[in-house]
Structure 1
Amino acid sequence: MDSNRFVLTVLRHQFLDGPNAWTYRSTMEVWLDLGELEQRPSHTIDGLTDRLLAWLPGLESHHCGVGEHGGFVQRLREGTWAGHVLEHCVIELLNQAGMPTGFGQTRSTSKPGVYRMVFRARNRATAEAALKQGHALLEAAINNEPFDVAGAVHALREVVDATWLGPSTAAIVNAATERGIPHVRLTDGNLVQLGHGARQRRIWTAESELTSAIAENIASDKDLTKMLLKSCGVPVPEGQVVHSPEEAWEAAQDIGLPVVVKPSDANHGRGVSLELTQQGDIERAFAIADAEGSDVMVERYIRGDEHRVLVVGGKVVAASRGESLYITGDGVHDVRQLIDLQLNSDPRRGEAEEFPLETIHLDREPAMRLLLERQGFAAESVPPAGHRVLVQRNGNVAIDCTDDVHPEVAYAVTLAVRTVGLDVAGVDLVCENIGRPLQEQGGAIVEVNAGPGLLMHLKPAVGQPRPVGEAIVAQLFPGSEPDVGRVPLIGISGTGHTTLLARASAFLLGLASGPTGLACRAGVFLGDRRVEDAARDYWEQCQRLLLNREVQSVVVETQPGLILDRGLPYDRCLVGVVTDLRGWETLARHDVSGPQDMTRALRTQVDVVLGHGACVLRVDDPAVAALAPLCDGDCYWFGEGSVPEGMPGTRLVRWCEGAVCLMDNGQLVVRARPGQALDTDAATALCGAAAAAWAAGLSPELIAAGLERFGASTLN
């Protein structure tokens, strides 16, 4: 290794899956040793800023701490340290790879030259790939070495495409997030849980748990679908399944020419041949359709453009129209070249799912080659100058026409979906004008599809994007309650008798809501049954509770170290309890050196309280009480003493004369005597549990009765 080469060392990194000391969302935390770069800020390294801007011109738009366009570049030219520069390189690479982010921070530690840097990332694999590429890029820029930026972005994009949600699923998840509905990814694919516990729903791309298996099977049987639609008066093209080229020709003659020959589960128009009139063409079209691996259908040809109408919950929410594709000869280039020059050059076309239009590959589309041959051309033919050649009929269903749908068309489409029985469906229809009734123009519904793609409506090639994700979420979670998709969740952080506090809180919640899940250092419980022993790192155990459909409420005990190692195992909570700021002695690996550093971890529990929820804090610990202004909701107190002056909330739970006393504005509301004598710490924990239950909406009377039932065996 060149001894004069600057090295930026990554000491370690950890992915924080949940809300953490940095932000509400998942992040990658990276520990860096700058080495000699600690003495070499950016403005002292010749050409560094210019090289970075040449490789990543998007850095120009980064605001940084300056708070305006170009702020980061200003910091580069004035002088900033390598950890901060790495943060912005990683963020810009993620932006270019199609996973945009804007959050990042870099902070020094108590050890000179060692920094903590974080950046927002949606999953571990993408975060690790972005860090790897960003680190390599920055070292190359610092040392004036070549670097393949395009290759780095491509490699990162491949990780994003392989590990993140598809566009349809992502649109639904994003819509749920906007409504405050949490989500949990159940597999590496597109199976996602929206909501927690008993209030959850599941989706798989644009299918949901409300999608009937019977309806899906009906939709996949095109003959059965058409029979059912015809019985309801929905116009459908006459057609039948055929099993040989000869049978295809016979069926075409019976139906009446021209006809369409297609696979029964045609996807993106593959294997579909339109407006066929000749026996040879029909027999060849059979082979093309048969190669797609499903039954082959011959149908009456319907004149007009192909349309896709999205129906959610019995309503039309989006519609797109296709168009035929032509190339125009110039007398110089052949058909294949003209397709690349005139069609594939469109920036809206691409291989990735994010592109609204697909790249045209003539070699992969035998139906397209048949269409060319019927016009007298092959891939290598050079069309005369000015001659238009039809390349594809009714492809590119990506022109928004939602506002043009005639009410009679909407009625026919929604009737078709109800007849099949789907909650979300994509209806394919062919007509010349979707603004006129189908019967009036000889149009027809061709297919009803379960699990329809949403990208054409989210990113149309022409027209206005439609909020289809929001429509699906509204179907799954009707209403506008603040707790939609959530079960009551109490989060407890600290070190002082938090396990007892958690168990008592779960007992009280169970009286009001039914089956309560509890994850604490004593194990994982459903009601009074222990279902798992406690793991050393029980983050996943907490997550499993949120997956359980039987759970009506949840209580989670989270130690400070777990928050710093992984983040909280939930996104928000109804009640957040902090008992103390002790335990710093075991957290040196996080640069925690005293009680003053504990606020960084424990404030997270208060930060995530919902606006209609409350925090519960020790009234007699000034450092804990100081967290109250950070809460978005109300504040409840427990312990000895009075509510600190100027602090929010008036409700206090105290231990007095052997009883738990619930007080409001200094007035006794109710008194409860637990079933056994308690030491001071246990009594304080029980007061905390009563305050948490009160904050969660339980009545003081129910809390008092519950504490008296909370038996000696549970307290031990």
Structure 2
Amino acid sequence: MVNIEKADLKIIEREEADFELKEGLKSALLEEAAIKRGYKVERLGFDTMILTLEGKDLLFRDMNGPLSSAAMMRIVDDKYRARSLIKRQNITVPESTYLRIHERDKIKAFADQIGYPVVLKPNDLSRGEGVHTNINDERALMEHLDKIAELIGNEYERILIEKQFNGDDYRFFVVDGTVFAASKRARANVTGDGEHTVLELIEEKNRLRAKDRDLKHFLIPTEKNKLGRLYREGRTLETVPDKGETVVIRDESNIASGGDGIDFTDTAHEAFKGIAIRAIQAIPGFHYGGVDIITNDITKEPAKDEYVVTEVEFSPGPMSMSHWEGKQRDMPNPILDFYLKNLDRL
């Protein structure tokens, strides 16, 4: 390892409180970890840089380096094709199909076949963009297809339609056959005190999130058009929830949508960790990434019909480093260790 005293001290001396999102968050976190360990970093752009590890220059985008190929990214980001590979490993995935937006009759027929409620997902968007859940009838199905068509701007693009599986959403972070984090992805929510409105509770929670160097970039929105679940369940921003009542605000479950990460790394059942590892290994050459699992109890060994793996993530967000509850779990250092271990392959 390079002696840390020879590294760029000006960058090392950045205090965490002064950390600003001048680069992509994932890229910035990897850069910070590398510099703290004494490695040279050359920033090339918003999310790209060269890390020099033991004399070898490695090009990274976000936290993905030379052992994360473009072909792999293409397959992993294609939810339907990735699922087909995962399913071969005897892992449960949602019943789904892959159709173009304009194929309305086929989409309707598939929804009738698998039964409502269903979920619509653009095949290769991220951060929950364009995902519509709890679709309970044909009219709602057509309305949401219109919204996705407007978002994408092309009715010939393919989307996933799948059977909805109800449960809690978990993200596993796997590197080289080891689970380093398991996080519950709780949907954006507030807890009532019997006195304040939902809006006031959101504003107070956002004040707390704003104190976190990473969560401050992902506050809970207050625009009505982004609060579908709140209004669908008969509440508004002016509702005053009862003391202790949890109000779920959005259907999306990621941090970028205002959600909360809750640490389950030590309490997740080993069987689920094994499923996450096998899901990563199902993609040839895929060494590290995220695995999303929905289940009702992550602490117990599941039967085959008690969970689904919804997708794998080529470049997962750093949820585990910004847990709202529980221990913070490192992401960049396990990745650095992986590359140091495999320098002879580069």
**Residues 1:96 and 1:26: Cα distance change in structure 2 (over 3 Å):** closer
Please name the residue that 2:159 is paired with.
296
User: CA offset at residue 286 of structure 1?
Assistant: 2.3
User: CA offset at residue 264 of structure 1?
Assistant: 2.0
Looking at structure 2, the residues matched to 198 and 384 of structure 1 have their Cα atoms a distance apart, in angstroms, of 60
**Residues 1:434 and 1:170: Cα distance change in structure 2 (over 3 Å):** same
Please name the residue that 1:560 is paired with.
none
**1:436 and 2:294 equivalent?**
no
Unaligned runs of 5+ in 2: 254-258
Contact 2:17 2:213 in 1 (8 A): no
User: CA offset at residue 457 of structure 1?
Assistant: 1.3
User: CA offset at residue 258 of structure 1?
Assistant: 1.8
Please name the residue that 2:256 is paired with.
none
**Residues 1:385 and 1:314: Cα distance change in structure 2 (over 3 Å):** closer
Looking at structure 2, the residues matched to 208 and 364 of structure 1 have their Cα atoms a distance apart, in angstroms, of 40
Which of 25, 48, 52 is equivalent to 2:9? Answer: 25
Structure 1-normalised TM-score?
0.41
Aligned partner letter, 1:222:
K
Please name the residue that 1:405 is paired with.
268
Looking at structure 2, the residues matched to 451 and 416 of structure 1 have their Cα atoms a distance apart, in angstroms, of 15
User: CA offset at residue 331 of structure 1?
Assistant: 9.8
Please name the residue that 2:337 is paired with.
474
SS of residue matched to 2:324: coil
Which of 296, 302, 309 is equivalent to 1:445? Answer: 309
Which of 201, 218, 225 is equivalent to 1:342? Answer: 201
Aligned partner letter, 1:404:
T
Looking at structure 2, the residues matched to 446 and 286 of structure 1 have their Cα atoms a distance apart, in angstroms, of 20
Which of 54, 60, 72 is equivalent to 1:203? Answer: 60
Which of 15, 18, 35 is equivalent to 1:98? Answer: 18
SS of residue matched to 2:166: coil
SS of residue matched to 1:183: strand
Please name the residue that 2:135 is paired with.
276
Structure 2-normalised TM-score?
0.80
**Alpha-carbon displacement from aligned partner over 1:100-155 (angstroms, at most 9, x marks no partner):** xxxxxxxxxxxxxxxxxxxxxxxxxxxxxxxxxxxxxxxxxxxxxxxxxxxxxxxx
**Alpha-carbon displacement from aligned partner over 1:266-311 (angstroms, at most 9, x marks no partner):** 4332332323222222222223334442643211111211111111
Contact 1:312 1:425 in 2 (8 A): yes
Contact 2:48 2:59 in 1 (8 A): yes
**Residues 1:356 and 1:398: Cα distance change in structure 2 (over 3 Å):** farther
**Residues 1:459 and 1:446: Cα distance change in structure 2 (over 3 Å):** same
Looking at structure 2, the residues matched to 328 and 215 of structure 1 have their Cα atoms a distance apart, in angstroms, of 41
Please name the residue that 1:360 is paired with.
220
Please name the residue that 2:26 is paired with.
168
- The structure with the larger Rg is 1
Please name the residue that 1:188 is paired with.
45
SS of residue matched to 2:81: helix
Contact 1:339 1:360 in 2 (8 A): no
User: CA offset at residue 431 of structure 1?
Assistant: 0.9
Contact 2:92 2:304 in 1 (8 A): no
Please name the residue that 1:315 is paired with.
178
Please name the residue that 2:113 is paired with.
254
User: CA offset at residue 190 of structure 1?
Assistant: 2.3
Please name the residue that 1:375 is paired with.
233
**Alpha-carbon displacement from aligned partner over 1:333-374 (angstroms, at most 9, x marks no partner):** 8xxxx44311232134349971178322243755x33x3453
CA RMSD of aligned residues (A): 3.4
Looking at structure 2, the residues matched to 188 and 229 of structure 1 have their Cα atoms a distance apart, in angstroms, of 34
**Residues 1:363 and 1:402: Cα distance change in structure 2 (over 3 Å):** same
Q: Number of aligned residue pairs: give it.
A: 325
Looking at structure 1, the residues matched to 190 and 8 of structure 2 have their Cα atoms a distance apart, in angstroms, of 51
Contact 1:306 1:323 in 2 (8 A): yes
Looking at structure 1, the residues matched to 105 and 195 of structure 2 have their Cα atoms a distance apart, in angstroms, of 40
User: CA offset at residue 211 of structure 1?
Assistant: 0.3
Aligned runs of 1:46-85 on 2, under 5 Å? none
Looking at structure 2, the residues matched to 177 and 95 of structure 1 have their Cα atoms a distance apart, in angstroms, of 13
Looking at structure 2, the residues matched to 271 and 248 of structure 1 have their Cα atoms a distance apart, in angstroms, of 16
**Residues 1:322 and 1:24: Cα distance change in structure 2 (over 3 Å):** closer
User: CA offset at residue 416 of structure 1?
Assistant: 1.2
Contact 1:319 1:405 in 2 (8 A): yes
Contact 2:29 2:332 in 1 (8 A): yes
**Alpha-carbon displacement from aligned partner over 1:662-689 (angstroms, at most 9, x marks no partner):** xxxxxxxxxxxxxxxxxxxxxxxxxxxx
Looking at structure 2, the residues matched to 229 and 430 of structure 1 have their Cα atoms a distance apart, in angstroms, of 15
